[in-house]
Structure 1
Amino acid sequence: MLAFGAPVAGLNYLDRPAAFGVAENALGQIALAQVTKPGKAPYFDLPGGAVDGDETEQEAVVREFGEETGLVVEAGLLIDTVSQLFLKSDGQPVRNFGGIYTVKVTGEKPALKVEDDHTLVWLDPRDAVVALRHDAHAWAVAAWMRRG
C-alpha cells in the first residue's frame, strides 16, 4: 500500500476504510467533487469516501459517487491501494486507506445527490493532478493517465 501524508506529532489518526474513483467523460475530463465548507477555501477530491458496514470498496465508490455528484457509475479496475493522512474540515485526524478505482459513468440521477457541500466539476486530468487536495488522489490520477 502506498502511503501519503506526514503525521502531525501528538495526533492520533482514526483509521477509516475508504474508496474513490476516477471517471472520464467523452471530452477526456475527469470527475472531481469540489467541496465547500463554511469559512474554508473550497478544495477538490476524487468522488468517494468511507466504506460503510459490510460494503465492498466497489459498492462504496458507487454509493459515494451518487451522493456527491448525482452520477450513476460502475466500479471497474483497481488503480492502486493507498493511504492518506489528513485533517478533516472539523480538525479530526484521519487515515483513509483503500482502493482507488476506474469507474464508468452509466447515467445521471440527481435524486442520489445528498451532499449539498459537494459540486461535480469536470477537469482535464493534468489540471486535476495539481488541483486535488490529497497527494494519494493526485498520484492515482497520474498513474491512471500513464497506464492509458
Structure 2
Amino acid sequence: MLAFGAPVAGAIYKDRPAAFGVAENAEGKIALAEVTKPGKAPYFDLPGGAVDGDETERQAVAREFGEETGLVVEAGVLIETVSQLFLKSDGQPVRNFGGVYVVKLLGEKPALKVEDDHRLVWLDPRDAVVALRHDAHAWAVAAWLRRGL
C-alpha cells in the first residue's frame, strides 16, 4: 500500500476504509467531484468514499459515484491500493485506505445524486493531477495515465 500525507503532530487518525474511481468520458476527460463546504474553498476529489458495512470496495465506488455525481459506473481494474492522511472539513483527522479503480461509465441516473455539496466536473487528466486535493488521488491518476489503463 502506498501511503500519502504528513501527519499533524498530536493528531490521532481514524482509519476509514474507502475506495475511489477514475472514470473517463468519450472526450478523454475524467470525472471529479467538486466539493463545496460552508466557509471553505472548493476542492476536487476523485468520486468515491467510505466503504459501508459489508459492501466491497467495488460496490462502494459504484454507490459513491451515484451519490456524488449521478453517474452509474462499474469498477474494473485496480490501479493501486493507497492510504491518505488528511483533516476532514470539520477538522477530524482521518486515514482513508483502500483501492483506486478504473471505472466504466454505464450511464446517468440523476436521482442517485444525494450529496448537494458535490458537483460533477470533467477535467483533462493532466489538469486533474494538479487540481486534486489528495496526493493519493493525483498519484493514481498519473499512474492510470502512464500505464494506459
TM-score range for the pair, normalised by the shorter chain length: over 0.9
Instruction: Specify the SS of the correspondent of 1:136.
Output: helix
Report the equivalent of 2:70: 70
The aligned amino acid for 1:31 is: A
Deviation of the 1:5 alpha carbon? 0.1
Match of 1:89 in 2: 89
Sequence identity (%): 89
2:125 matched to 1:125?
yes
**5+ residue gaps in structure 2?**
none
Match of residue 33 from structure 2: 33
Structure 2 counterparts to residues 39-78 of structure 1, below 5 A: 39-78=39-78
Unaligned runs of 5+ in 1: none
> What do residues 64-85 of structure 1 show as CA deviations (whole Å, max 9, x unaligned)?
0000000000100000000000
| Cα displacement (A) at 1:47 | 0.0
Matched, 1:111 2:111: yes
| Separation in structure 1 between the aligned mates of residue 128 and residue 38 of structure 2, nearest angstrom | 23
How many angstroms apart in 2 are the aligned matches of 1:126 and 1:23? 14
* Aligned-partner SS, 2:8: coil
The one-letter amino acid paired with 2:98 is G
TM-score (normalizing by structure 1): 1.00
TM-score, with normalisation over the residues of structure 2? 0.99
* TM-superposed deviation, 1:52: 0.1
Matches within 5 A, 1:133-144: 133-144=133-144
- Displacement of 1:87: 0.1
Q: Given the alignment of the two structures, is residue 18 of structure 1 paired with residue 18 of structure 2, yes or no?
A: yes
SS in 1 for 2:130: helix
Cα deviation for residue 132 of structure 1 reads: 0.0
1:76-131: per-residue Cα shift (whole Å, max 9, x none)?
Answer: 00000000000000000000000000001100000000000000000000000000
| Superimposed CA distance per residue, residues 16-55 of structure 1 (whole angstroms, 9 cap, x where no aligned partner) | 0000000000000000000000110000000000000000
Q: What letter is aligned with 2:104?
A: K
Q: Which whole-Å CA distance do the structure 2 matches of 1:8 and 1:69 have between them? A: 31
Amino acid at match of 1:101: Y
> How far, CA to CA, are the matches of 2:130 and 2:30 in structure 1?
13
